Amino acid sequence: MVRIIEVHTTGQGLFEFTDQIREIVATSEIEEGLCTIMIQHTSASLTIQENADPSARYDLECWIEQLVPEDNPNFTHTHEGPDDMPAHIKAALTSTTLSIPVYLGELTLGVWQGVYVWEHRHRGSTRQCVVHIKD
């Protein structure tokens, strides 16, 4: 079973869409299998992260900004602005696919885990994610 979903972002940051994935798993009626999610973009990524305390997400965002700062004079891919090449690097360093086991018809996420699109561009966007569930 394959579904394409949209996740709307409003700028840089982590945007949770766990409930959308849970709904797709529930309607699939697959009891045991694997849920694979892929984002169809090169300037955003996917992550499983804590969904209880927002300071964990804030700290991740600060860390990656320090790791890949904007306006590096060595970047040549700058046609879409100063956040463009850093966004590509951030996506390359993180994940564009996730695999989550399905057991008893549910995602096997931990209590404090959520599924996020990690937007690396300043402007908001609509990000497409392909969700594949296989038993």
Domain count across the chain: 1
CA 115 to CA 127: how far, in whole Å? 14
Domain hosting 35: range is: 2-134
Tokens 């599924």 -> residue: 115
Can you give the CATH number for the domain in which 94 is found? Answer: 2.60.120.460
Q: Any idea what DSSP says for residue 121?
A: S
pLDDT in tens, the chain (135 residues): 999 999 999 999 999 999 999 999 999 999 999 999 999 999 999 999 999 999 999 999 999 999 999 989 999 999 899 999 999 999 999 999 999 999 999 999 999 999 999 999 999 899 999 999 999
The pLDDT score that the predictor gives to residue 104 is 98
Which amino acid belongs to residue 57?
Answer: R
Rounded to two decimals, what is the model's pTM?
0.96
- Residue closest to 16 by CA, chosen among 47, 55, 56: 47
